[in-house]
Amino acid sequence: MVLNAAVIGTGEDPEQRDRTGYAMAYRHAPGYERRDDVELVACADIVPENALAFANRFDVPKGNVYEDYETMLEELEIDVVSVCTPPSVHADIVVGCAESGTPDAVHCEKPMATTWGDCQRMVEACDRNDVQFTINHQRRFGGPFLKAKALLDRGEIGDLERLEWGEANLLDAGVHLFDLCGFYTDGTPVKWVLANVDYREENLWFGTHNENQGLAQWQYEDGVTGLAITGEADGLGADVVGCYLRLVGSDGVIELGVEDGPDLRYRTGDSAWKTVDTSETIYGPQTGLARAGVQKLFERVPVVDESRLDKPSFHERSIDEVIESLLEGREPSIRGAVSLRATELAFASWESARRQGRVDLPLDIDDNPLEAMVEAGVYDVGVEAE
């Protein structure tokens, strides 16, 4: 059985690295291309030249290039859809796909949506229409993160007591870390969140407000706590934590993405740090010497598709989870309900800032607290941070 896949929101430039568009479709597409049981057959983008450029790159038939995704779903038999548009339109597109009766699975980029109400609406629509819904929390499939989970599960640092991380912000970048925290706590529900944020300069990521700096604390029902520090300026975010993510146990520590250090290390009690070789960074596989040598050979004798020799990226592994869970009839590890818990922590942090106090979960709002505060003039936007 070969599944038909399509992409909604191709983006403009796969090498673009600003905060208007990462062209994430160019990271999803190879995940479909590398599989023998999937064919990428269509794409849609409101900018026709962007869709055509994507189609040329991935050999999508010209007749299957659309401006309107709804027309695409009406005219073609599509099994799996990747939604790679800006987050502000994720919800309407995901709900539209679920209610169209066409795809069996929808795989959406993070963050889920720009309001908490829309996040819930997406999950409810897909559940109601029996559509598999997943969010691209690809880091769950990375070597460093999986090996850290193995270390934790076999008791190398005792019982988990606290999670600490530093990133640019709580939603767009931080939701990956909230999701990883859920991974390491085996989905244990969160009881409460206490946070504060500052927004002195306009900070739009793909059209959505994100704080300039923030501090959040939360507690799981089993007593494990979390601490997040955000901001991009020197002395904020990861600069404070000293790594991407830290797991603190009753008898040791695991660190991932150590600044100027290894991607995974741990120590037990007062022992010295032990570095774990993962052959991958926290962002993806590394090209080894052997792979580089083979690549040079294929430049002279291109007898096979050299991309098949690459270790799959984390994004490609995420696509594997989407396809294999669909074919096997099981719940994917990155399903919408799981991603909802991670996203709730970001919105709950902003809601705590709005209420100026602790927020108990589940979250009882529908809007975007940070956006509401910015629009209400709570923050003096335009004042440079000292």
- Tell me the per-residue pLDDT of 320-332, one tens digit each, with 9 for 90 and over: 999 999 999 999 9
Query: Which residue is listed with tokens 């309900």?
Result: 337
Two structure tokens written together for 229: 């520090």
Rg (CA), the chain: 21
Compute the Cα dihedral for 283, 284, 290, 295 and give only its sign. Answer: negative
Of the pLDDT bands very low, low, confident and very high (cuts 50, 70, 90), residue 287 is low
Residue 321 near residue 141, CB atoms below 8 Å:
yes
Q: What is the pLDDT of residue 309?
A: 47
Q: What is the pLDDT of residue 12?
A: 83
d(CA 301, CA 375) in angstroms, rounded, equals 59
The DSSP secondary-structure symbol of 245 reads E
Residues found in the chain:
386
- How much is the average pLDDT of 109-137? 98
Residue of 101, 96, 71 whose CA lies nearest to 85: 96
Is it the case that residue 16 has pLDDT exceeding 70? no
Is it the case that residue 378 has pLDDT exceeding 90? yes
- How much is the average pLDDT of 153-181? 98
First to last CA, the chain: 59
Residue of 143, 318, 344, 164 whose CA lies nearest to 254: 164
Q: What is the pLDDT of residue 270?
A: 87
Residue 201 near residue 381, CB atoms below 8 Å:
yes
Q: What is the pLDDT of residue 185?
A: 98
Residue 328 near residue 1, CB atoms below 8 Å:
no
The DSSP secondary-structure symbol of 285 reads B
Give 23's contacts (C-beta < 8 A, 6+ positions apart): 10, 11, 12, 13, 14, 15, 16, 84
**pLDDT above 90 as % of the chain:** 87
Q: What is the pLDDT of residue 384?
A: 54
How many other CB atoms are found less than 10 A from the CB of residue 320?
16
Residues 268-273: contacts with CB under 8 Å, at least 24 apart: 268/156, 268/157
Q: What is the pLDDT of residue 224?
A: 98
Q: What is the pLDDT of residue 249?
A: 98
pLDDT tens for 263-277 read 999 999 889 999 999
- The helix or strand, by DSSP H or E, that contains position 49, with its residue range, turns out to be helix 48-58
Q: What letter represents residue 340's amino acid?
A: L
How many other CB atoms are found less than 10 A from the CB of residue 154?
8
pLDDT tens for 225-250 read 999 999 999 999 999 999 999 999 99
**What is the fold, at CATH topology level, of the domain defined by 3-139?**
Rossmann fold (3.40.50)
Residue of 346, 379, 339 whose CA lies nearest to 365: 346
d(CA 173, CA 189) in angstroms, rounded, equals 21
- How much is the average pLDDT of 110-123? 98
- DSSP state string for 53-71: HHHHHHT--GGGEES-HHH
CATH of 140-283+341-375, one of 3.10.350.10, 3.30.360.10, 3.30.565.10, 3.40.50.300: 3.30.360.10
Domain positions in the chain: 3-139, 140-283+341-375
The DSSP secondary-structure symbol of 335 reads B
d(CA 85, CA 98) in angstroms, rounded, equals 16
Instruction: Give the 3-state secondary structure percentages of the chain, helix then strand then coil, rounded to 5.
Output: 40, 25, 40
Is it the case that residue 255 has pLDDT exceeding 60? yes
pLDDT tens for 46-55 read 999 999 999 9
The DSSP secondary-structure symbol of 313 reads P
Q: What is the pLDDT of residue 216?
A: 98
- How much is the average pLDDT of 198-224? 96
